[in-house]
Chain A
Amino acid sequence: MADASIFPAAISGMFELLSPVPPGWGGNLLRGLANSLQIAFGAFGLGLLIGTLGAYGKLYGGPVIRDILAIYTTIVRAVPELVLILLLYYAGTDLINRVLEAMGYAPVNISGLVAGIVVLGFVQGAYGTEVLRGAIKAIPQGEIEAARAYGMSPGVMMRRIILPAMLPHALPGLANLWLIATKDTALLAVVGFSELTLETRQAAGATKAYFLFYMAAGVLYLLVTLSSNAIIGRVEIWARRGMPSIREA
């Protein structure tokens, strides 16, 4: 590794510490990475769902729905994710347990995975709403009017016209959201969910090799980002097929 020279004490021990079998901590890091990716996927999917509905509501909904959505996106985008995660995490689990108690059921323990997905998905939904709203507005509106003139129901129109037509406009924003989702999973370390950053911290604390483990986790995150970028590039080429080439911003 390149940083071996900054690490005077433990050059030979580095690989031992990082090995994936029990004396090393590599397995823990990989398990944390798997957890992080799981949450990122779930949160991104949930965010897409909320975002699609939100964008639809913001564009075509009634005045009340529009105002409520405006409040949702404004507040979520103005308050730090860390604070939102804490608020939603505690308030959400508390609320569910109180409802269950009122209905006569025993309180449940909500798994960190589900809570993480729901909380991050809620945050992602706000950003997704704005991204998708912009993308739908970028579709030539004549296409939507033509679809209506053909008598398509809103569901069919969304599936056949709006979603495919907006995809190339939405992809850069969605790619950004995906990268934010992978990085925001690190915030769940603060509420004690054992994703990559918290696993790293525990490994580093146990072995005292702080620099080594944080660098290793950084490399893992970077690999996720770079491979995502490669895949997103391919998807973008696919989604833009038949369209004029991308203009350099």
Chain B
Amino acid sequence: MTETAVQTFRIAPKQNGDTEARRLAPHRIVLALIGLGLVAASIFFLRWDWLPNYYGLIAQGLWRTIWILAVTCVLGFLLAVPLGLAQAAGPAIVAVPARAFCTIIRGTPLLLQLWLLYYGLGSLFPQYPWIRESELWPYLRQAWPYAVLALTLSYAGYEGEVMRGAFAGVPKGQLEAARAFGMRRFTILRRIWLPQAIHRALPTLAGEAVLQLKATPLVATITVIDLYAVASRVRQDMFITYEPLLLLAAFYLVITGVIVFLFRRLERLIPSKLG
């Protein structure tokens, strides 16, 4: 109880304010040692002899995961900007469909969307001869276009909602000033509105990118060989359960760390002086 009583009064942070000492507190050293012990135990007691045989496959899967993540984030964001703009400032004829799109995407599981596109649409396409004869058919027969499409739409749906708030959050005076300068509407969007909206949305972009990373293993369910699919393959080949999954979790932790680090760098590039 004394602990909590001290916490609420403002004196507490000053008393043990030096964070350096707190960072190396003895209990943290113990926790770190326990963590190292767990890692060492999993290295020594679990089976890792399969690892060298799968280096190539793991690298391939890692590359595909990162590639899908990057492509769908970029495409999804490009789609999210008009979606957000339509909801924030568009007339009803574009605002209503944009809102409906965001609601549908955010209201149904991504796994279902993925399967709807791959199995549902994929089973409809062959019925139409003109699709089968078109140039796109070789691509439509593969799984990855559906994966990219589903993840892009999903990212656009979630990020469109964020961009709606970001566009609406830009102070009206900024836009009025731009109009007073005689800027055309597209110039206002390009020079004033969009940059400020992106700046506002940047902190959530990192979170959305991590969420998108966590959505990528779903593509393994439609036969795209990503990192997760490689781990499943190892599990089936070697009859082991934990090792590939633990390695997989470690990979995702590292990728998440890299994403957070990159976005923090990106945020620091833009001078932040929000009024």
Contact = CB atoms under 8 A, between A and B. Distances in A.
A86 B3 contact: no
Contacts of A83: 217, 228, 245, 248-249, 252
B111 A189 contact: yes
B93 interface: no
A90 interface: yes
A235 interface: no
A211 B116 contact: yes
Nearest to B28: A67
Contacts of B111: 186-187, 189-190, 197
B253 A148 contact: no
B115 interface: yes
Contacts of B245: 83, 86-87, 90
Given A141-B8, A183-B108, A211-B116, A90 B121 contact: no
B25 A63 contact: yes
Interface string B243-259: 00110110011001100
Given A64-B31, A86-B245, 9 more contacts: A59-B7, A63-B25, A71-B31, A78-B210, A79-B249, A87-B249, A186-B110, A210-B119, A226-B107
A210 B117 CA distance: 10
A13 to B, nearest CB: 15
A211 B120 contact: yes
A37 B106 CA distance: 17
20 contacts: A6-B124, A8-B127, A59-B7, A67-B27, A67-B28, A71-B31, A77-B210, A78-B210, A78-B253, A80-B213, A80-B252, A82-B218, A84-B249, A87-B249, A186-B110, A186-B112, A204-B119, A214-B115, A225-B108, A226-B107
Contacts of A187: 109, 111
Contacts of B106: 179, 225
Interface of B: 1, 3-5, 7-8, 22, 25, 27-28, 31, 103-104, 106-113, 115-116, 119-124, 127, 165, 168-169, 210, 213-218, 221, 228, 241-242, 245-246, 248-249, 252-253, 256-257
Contacts of B228: 80, 82-83
Given A79-B252, A190-B221, A210-B123, A221 B210 contact: no
Interface of A: 6, 8-9, 59-60, 62-64, 67-68, 71, 75, 77-84, 86-87, 90-91, 94, 141, 144-145, 148, 154, 179, 183-187, 189-190, 197, 200-201, 204, 208, 210-211, 214-215, 217-218, 221-222, 225-226, 248-249
B27 A63 contact: yes
Contact of B107 (A9, A91, A211, A222): A222
